[in-house]
Structure 1
Amino acid sequence: MTTLTNLVRDDLEACNRLIVARMDSPVALIPQLAAHLVAAGGKRLRPLLTLAAARLCGYRGDRHVGLAACVEFIHTATLLHDDVVDESALRRGQASANALFGNKASVLVGDFLFARAFQLMTQDGSLRVLEILSSASATIAEGEVLQLVTQNDTATTQEQYLQVIEGKTAALFAAATEVGAVVADRPAEDAAALATYGRALGMAFQLVDDALDYSASQAALGKTVGDDFREGKITLPVLLAFEGGTEEERAYWRRVLEDRDQRDGDLEHALELMHRHGTLDATVARARDYGRAATDALGRFPDGPERRALADIVEFCIARAR
């Protein structure tokens, strides 16, 4: 991660300046809430991917800076809305915006950031870029709604789960990398390869996140451990434990996730069942499969610091599970 950040440091600093400038507003609550988000940090992974993908493709202009900021605005807007939907109290180890400012302010500032993102898209002037990023925004919303529909339903299939994470996470990773090739005016095959890389990386990233929700410390996770369990989210560690469980174990999962009848010790029992069936290791193994697909997609590009840094990001995302 440090290698990639250092590689595009000047571009990233320009992106950060643009983000701060575009978060400004005469409506005082908007920059106030936005400042809280900026202060909370974050790795800027998605805009880094846009910056690095453009450099990988030989681009030497500055359009990628605005598009990287656009990608970060889309991501941040979805976080604001997600935290309201999930009633999350923590984000990146600090109080979430909705916990500090309330749900209404968080939703409305999220809308403001989406609008800023679309301003940046149109200012870029490329219809292809607009198509990629607007389609990703719609897909993210669809993924979130599908997750809401499948939440608390133990009949959810692995295919539905993968559809959820492809929508809510991988779509923006794919768009972030694909636009890097588009601004560089590279062939469609290069853009498709970078989209494949981004999508596979996003799938790996979310799979690791879903495993970490049951295995990380709160400090490392940046949010409360077990949030997915308490909200009744159906993630791969749960699906695998349910599918491989006895009828008694399945009845337990239905009680805690479908009926939302959660008692003292239930989270610990969930962890015990996951370890018994090896579902956390299996989830990380699936993430590694996607990680290999992401690395393979870079094969059509010549070796160099940008390609190596993008390959390293794959390992960085998966290594979080250690």
Structure 2
Amino acid sequence: MEKVKLKLLYSDLKPELDMIEKELEQAVDSESLLLNDASLHLLQAGGKRIRPVFVLLAGKFGNYNIDVMKQVAVPLELIHMASLVHDDVIDDSETRRGKPTVKAEWNNSVAMYTGDFILARALEYISEIDSPKLHHILSKTMIEVCRGEIIQIEDKYKLDQNLRDYLRRIKRKTALLISSSCELGALVSGTDEKTAAHLRRFGYFIGMSFQIIDDILDFTSTDEELGKPAGSDFIQGNITLPILCARKNPEVYSLLKNNLGKELTEPERLHIVKTVRDSTAIDEAKAISERYLQKALEELAYLPKGNANKTMRKIAFFIGKRKF
């Protein structure tokens, strides 16, 4: 239901997004039946397509041409998809969005090569654009995304990490790709540098809010809503903002410390989820997300008024307030 509500906010982009969806299907097409099946399995699992949406909306501030915009929107979504496949291997995840992951449906090897294949397709696709600056921004973003994934592995099971560690990690893991979607969409449509900079910062701030809300929902949503067990981040050893906030209570800290890295029974998992959910941690995490949301909205205030600005504002509010 929430995804449906989100799509209604940018329903006027449906023809262009349908075109991008077809382009994504063509992009992952392969002579290998196995690669083809695994790639389509991931693609057809769905997704919010937030990155392509932001590419298109940013392009509305310049000389909008869908044939040019899709050359940026498609590879950015492919890069995101590739990172999801690799994430599921690293986290040993069996489900994503309520469906088996590629690694669960096939195996780790197929998943890794599928991710590599999708990433290669992204690079092939964006090579159509003749812009060294655009390629520099994208390559730098990809490097930072990889660094973020490595940092996440290094930070696993470290309950005593600080807030800066967490924010640095989600910046690279999520915010930068959304930020680049806004910036590249602006640049490829020929906007001025100042407009592109405001859009880049908007993308960064909304990306931070987006990931914090995601981490909150891991504790506040049901297994059915998440399409995976609630508390999966904790089970996998990923220390997120709700955990960082909850650990300030000595009793909760002991509970988390004693169960971190342990194979939990169902009652133990549910008890941990309920403990974090019922603590002040959720409200504290929401307050931090809200600060990033407000910063994102401030960036929009510097941009020309119009439908694109209005839609970005609506999406930002939705992202910052969504329930799952």
TM-score, normalized by the shorter chain, greater than 0.5: yes
Q: Is 1:254–2:257 an aligned residue pair?
A: yes
Percent identity, please: 30
Note if contact 1:81-1:106 (Cα within 8 Å) is conserved in structure 2. Answer: yes
Runs (5+) with no aligned partner, structure 1: none
Q: Among 151, 165, 168, which residue is 1:163 paired with?
A: 168
Which has the higher mean CA deviation after the structures are superposed, 194-203 or 284-293?
Answer: 284-293
In the alignment, is the contact (CA less than 8 A) between 1:217 and 1:225 conserved in 2? yes
RMSD: 1.7
CA contact (8 A) 2:246 2:276 kept: yes
How far did 1:38 drift? 2.4
Where do 1:300-319 residues align within 5 Å? Answer: 300-319=302-321
Query: TM-score scaled by structure 1?
Result: 0.94
Amino acid at match of 1:233: N
Residue 245 (structure 1) shift: 1.4
The CA deviation at 1:11 is: 1.8
Q: For 1:200, what is the secondary structure of its paired residue?
A: helix
1:68 pairs, out of 66, 73, 78, with: 73
What SS does structure 2 have at the residue aligned with 1:68? helix
Alignment partners' CA distance in 1, 2:24 and 2:219: 33
2:49 match? 44
2:3 corresponds to which residue?
Answer: none
State the Cα deviation string for residues 67-120 of structure 1 (Å, max 9, x = none). Answer: 100011000000000011111111111111111011110110100111111112
Aligned-pair CA distance for 1:272? 4.3
- Say whether residues 1:29 and 2:47 are aligned partners: no
Q: Letter of the aligned partner of 2:315 in structure 1?
A: I
- Other-structure match for 1:84: 89
Instruction: Give SS of 1:265's match.
Output: helix
CA separation in 1, counterparts of 2:152 and 2:163? 12
Residue in structure 1 matched with residue 243 of structure 2 by the alignment = 238
Question: 1:271 offset after TM fit, Å?
Answer: 3.3
SS in 2 for 1:223: coil
Amino acid at match of 2:226: L
More displaced 10-residue stretch of structure 1: 226-235 or 156-165: 226-235
Separation (CA, whole Å) in 2 of partners of 1:240 and 1:289: 16
Identify the residue that residue 205 of structure 1 maps to in structure 2.
Answer: 210
Whole-Å Cα distance in 1 between the matches of residues 230 and 68 of structure 2?
39
d(CA) in 2 for partners of 1:108 and 1:271? 34
* Structure 2 CA distance for aligned equivalents of residues 105 and 261 of structure 1: 26
Farther off after superposition, 171-180 or 54-63: 54-63
Q: Secondary structure at the match of 1:260?
A: coil
Counterpart of 2:291?
289
1:110 aligns with 2:115: yes
Report the Cα distance in structure 1 between the residues aligned to 2:239 and 2:140, rounded to whole angstroms: 25
1:220-268 CA distance string (max 9 Å, x none): 22322121121121111111111x212x4423222212x5364553333
State the alpha-carbon separation in 2 of the partners of residues 214 and 310 from structure 1: 27
Distance of aligned partners of 1:276 and 1:29 in 2 relative to their CA distance in 1, 3 Å threshold: closer
TM-superposed CA distance for 1:281, in Å, is 1.7
Q: 1:263 to 1:23 in 2, by over 3 A?
A: closer
Structure 1's 61 and 251: CA in aligned 2 closer, same or farther, altered over 3 A?
Answer: closer
* Structure 2: gaps spanning 5 or more residues: 1-5
TM-superposed deviation, 1:305: 1.1
In the alignment, which residue of structure 2 is the partner of 1:93? 98
Opposite residue 159 of structure 1, the aligned amino acid is: R
Quote the Cα distance in structure 2 between the aligned partners of 1:46 and 1:298. Answer: 17
Are 1:193 and 2:198 matched, yes or no? yes
**1:179: how far off?**
0.5
Residue 14 of structure 2 aligns with which residue?
Answer: 9
Corresponding residue for residue 278 of structure 1: 280
